[in-house]
Amino acid sequence: MPDFEFSFNDINQTAVNTALGGNATSAQAAAIDDRDTFFDSGDSWDWSSGAPDINVQVDTNVINQTAVNTALDGDAHSSQFAALDDRDTVVDQGSHDSSDLNFHIDTNLINQTAVNTAVDLDHLFPFG
């Protein structure tokens, strides 16, 4: 029994906060759950009964998170969380097994960028 999974998962998150006399705060959370489970409970391939079982999983998972927080007379905060779960599970309980084929090719990428700037206007100019 052949099983093919081709998936592309892409999450882009951008937060831009500006506060004057207050706080600039951002929080981002991203999660990708891209599991492939291949379960074979029948009689698998033996040389007299046919072709092997084939499982193919090709994944590309990308998470991009960008936060830019600027506070004048306040605080600038950001928090970012990203998680990828990209498992490939093959369970074969056949009684006449030979080589089943399992291919798992994945590309997982997490980019996180945070730029936080806080300016205290009361003390910006020493002779003010």
Q: Any idea what DSSP says for residue 53?
A: P
Those residues whose C-beta lies under 8 Å from the C-beta of residue 42, and which sit 6 or more positions away, are 1, 94
Helical H segments across the chain, by residue range: none
| Residue 33, strand partner residues | 85
What's the pTM? 0.76
pLDDT digits (tens, 9 = 90+) for 46-68: 555 566 677 788 999 999 999 99
Quick count: other Cβ atoms within 10 Å of Cβ 24? 24
pLDDT of residue 98: 54
